[in-house]
Structure 1
Amino acid sequence: MVLVNEETNERYKGLIEKLSEAEVEKLKGNSNFTFAWNEEQGALVYKLMIKGKKEILGLVSVADIREEFRLHINLLEASKKHRGKGKGIKNIPGCLLAFVCRVSFRKGYGGFVSLLPKTYLIDYYQKNYGFVQVGRQLAIFGNNSKVLVGKFLEDEEV
């Protein structure tokens, strides 16, 4: 997976790892993130970093809805300095979303991933990542998930 410095176009190898329950608890009061990540204990929480660095660039919390053969994204967030205009590193949300799609394929769920976005983000997820509206939620699956994995995780296999 490739992360890109928005200002210099320098490219970095990204790495996503699962956080332990203790690491999730340590996120309490972390000023780099807005959401209450410590409340995600019991969910699968992953961090995105530049390989060889310790800074957490983004986080995603995922629930495995086995009976529906899907993964549900509870929370997804880029750290404060890597979002909006003038962000340092781009592709953070895309890499995290593609990672969850890949996990869904590997579990035999066909890339089926859902999330419940804030209203103002619905168009963003649809235009930038290929999500479709399903009731109140957005979902991605099948070929759209494969496209996302190919775009953001590049050489990595589904």
Structure 2
Amino acid sequence: MKIFREKQARWQRAGSHKGLIQNKRSLSESDPFKNGVYCNGLDIEIDGLTDCLEVRSTGETVETEFGPIKMTPTLQRKLKRERWRFDWTKAEGENLFALRVKGEDIIQGLISFSHEQGFTIVFLVESNPINVSHEGKYKGIGGHLFAIACYESKKHGNDGIVTMTAKTKLVDHYAKTLGIHSLGAKENMAIDELAAQKLIDKYIRKQYNIYR
């Protein structure tokens, strides 16, 4: 409990989007929330923290794979035909990762992020339209995508810490489902080390036999 309170206090002191205390660096220095659609905030809904992805109609769990992807105009045209909302050729961040069901070519989700000193910034997250709404094919896409960002953050030496700007209407939703914190301005949020490890354990460590 003492460790939890100390961690809570550290994140609260980082408020007003002025930066994480341990980094002694302002998040705003990198201006991650300025351009295009990103200033409007992330709006992917977390439809449940499942054991990997779950077929909504049957409850069956499926294995997944993820990795970096290059967004080409050809691929973007394909996404447009599939009615993805965003122009992913303009996605910010040097890291663009795709999530797929193991053995399939269909992209189930995309996430764009950059590694800074001490934290990782998520710019854009989107689920394949076939998974959106209560009639979508798979559950757990949003949680899995954030788990990927946390895992890559940890690999990069950022302790799994991930920051983002959320749409105002989804701030409470993200806080409840992902257990993440607001940084001063309510829409500016961060996944801390504890919440990150929970996501990694849920979606990645057990499925891919990755050890801490």
- C-alpha distance after superposition, 1:89-142 (max 9, x if no partner): 011111110111111111111111011011111112111111100033110121
Match of 1:74 in 2: 123
1:32 aligns with 2:88: no
Gaps of 5+ in 2: 1-50
For the residues of structure 2 that align with 1:111 and 1:131, how far apart are their CA atoms? 12
Match of 1:147 in 2: 198
Q: Choose from 57, 64, 67 the match for 2:108.
A: 57
Q: Relative to 1, partners in 2 of residues 1:154 and 1:32: Cα closer, same or farther, differing over 3 Å?
A: farther
Scaled by the length of structure 2, the TM-score of the pair is: 0.68
In the alignment, is the contact (CA less than 8 A) between 1:3 and 1:89 conserved in 2? yes
- For the residue of structure 1 that corresponds to 2:148, the secondary structure is helix
SS in 1 for 2:176: helix
* SS of residue paired to 1:33: coil
CA displacement, residues 58-86 of structure 1 (integer Å, 9 cap, x when unaligned) = 100012223xx111110001111102211
- The 8 Å contact of residues 117 and 138 in structure 1, kept in 2 or not, is answered as yes
3-state DSSP of counterpart to 2:63: strand
Matched position secondary structure for 2:146 = helix
Inter-partner Cα distance in structure 1 for 2:176 and 2:205: 20
Q: What SS is found at the alignment partner of 1:16? A: strand
Matched residue SS, 2:66 = strand
Counterpart of 2:211 in structure 1 is: 157
Tell me, in whole angstroms, the C-alpha distance in 1 between the residues paired with 2:92 and 2:124.
Answer: 12
**What residue is the counterpart of 1:45 in the other structure?**
96
Aligned alpha-carbon RMSD (Å)? 1.9
Contact 2:92 2:112 in 1 (8 A): no
Q: Which residue of 2 aligns with 1:3?
A: 53
Larger radius of gyration: 2
Is 1:92 the counterpart of 2:92? The answer is: no
Say how many residue pairs are matched.
155
1:25 offset after TM fit, Å? 6.1
2:58 alignment partner, SS class? coil
Matched letter for residue 125 of structure 1: Y
Instruction: Tell me which stretches of 4 or more aligned residues in structure 1 moved more than 3 Å.
Output: none
- Which blocks of at least 5 consecutive residues in structure 1 are unaligned? none
**Do the aligned residues in 2 keep the contact of 1:91 with 1:152 (CA within 8 Å)?**
no
Q: TM-score, normalised by structure 1?
A: 0.89
- Aligned equivalent of 1:131: 180
**1:103 and 1:25 mapped to 2: Cα distance?**
27
Q: Please list the CA deviations of residues 30-62 of structure 1 after superposition, one character each: whole Å capped at 9, or x if unmatched.
A: 233111211026531111000100111110001
CA distance in 1, matches of 2:74, 2:121: 21
